Homo-oligomer: A and B are copies of this chain.
Amino acid sequence: MEVVQTIADLRSRIKAYRRKNEKSVGFVPTMGFLHEGHASLLTKARAQSGLVVLSIFVNPIQFGPGEDFERYPRDAERDLAFAEAAGVDLVFMPSVEEMYPTPTRTTVRVSEVTTRLCGASRPGHFDGVATVVSKLFHIVQPDQAFFGLKDAQQVAVIEQMVKDLNLPVEIVPCPTLREADGLAMSSRNVYLSTEERQQALVLSQSLNKAKDFIQSKAATSFTSLELQNLVTQHIQTAPLAVIDYVEVLSYPTLEPFDQSHSTSSLIIALAVKFGKTRLIDNLILQVRK
């Protein structure tokens, strides 16, 4: 495994690989503090690609004022051991100065799909995500890029950007990984106190309840509002939970879910704060017609 800090180094390694190999380049962009969710992306990339590239970069421009950029967990040494074990070939760990050498003047903005959910709670967040991901795609030039569906809106935004800008990369969405008790894996879980960690289980529980509810019903006999209420009410059984949003939308268009539409995928998406820690989770379901 090689570790590089500069764009020029990364490009020359990938160019050298491409010159000798016909196999594809798989890319997993992350903000580090790797967990089993990332490992599942790397495993998929390893299985499909000749060269597996991992980036670790806590991207300042996707954090708003007052968000957790400064305290976002970082552990380069652990991450590198983790990456090596996951079969990564090449790790890109640029500095902020390397990625944004002068005040950046170019923004990639995706509209519509960014107006709700985290796009509404975190203004500018998805501009930062789309901009850094397009930069990383231009630097790595991968054949496939692997993203976790825990950040389902991020996947939708990136898929829209790739389609609209004709980026020559295939996006591979990968299922959310969960702890044994159901909590969706996240680098931010380390922020939680023991009590918060216990109460955060209401998130996955509430989504499971919604799933059971839908599966017990005929396809057209429930409303978005019923689902939203069911999830909200269960989350509210946790005294420490402060709901940011609970929404039921079509996926991946992220528009109001209307069963009369041709849309057949829905997402129940939620963001909930426990103390200072904001957690997200979601459930994406095919609805039988």
Is A104 an interface residue, CB under 8 A from the partner?
A: yes
Whether the pair B165, A135 counts as a contact (CB closer than 8 A) is yes
Q: Determine how many copies of this chain the complex contains.
A: 2
- Interface residue from B105, B106, B141, B160 paired with A106 (Cβ < 8 Å): B160
> Which of A52-60, A107-115, A210-218, A224-232 participates in binding chain B?
A107-115
Which residues from chain B contact A108 at a C-beta distance below 8 Å? 106-109, 165
**CA–CA, A168 and B7, complex, Å:** 11
Q: A105-B112, A105-B113, A106-B110 are in contact. Are A138 and B164 (CB under 8 A)?
A: no
Chain A's interface size range is: 20 to 34
- Interface residue from B104, B167, B168 paired with A164 (Cβ < 8 Å): B104
Whether the pair A138, B105 counts as a contact (CB closer than 8 A) is no
- Cβ proximity bits A73-108 to B, threshold 8 Å, 1 near / 0 not: 000000000000000000000000000000011111
CB distance from A134 to the nearest CB of B (A): 6
Which residues from chain B contact A7 at a C-beta distance below 8 Å? 166
Which residues from chain B contact A168 at a C-beta distance below 8 Å? 11, 138, 141
Q: What are the 9 tightest A-B residue pairs by CB atom distance, in nearest-first order?
A: A106-B164, A138-B166, A105-B111, A104-B164, A105-B112, A106-B161, A106-B110, A135-B166, A107-B109
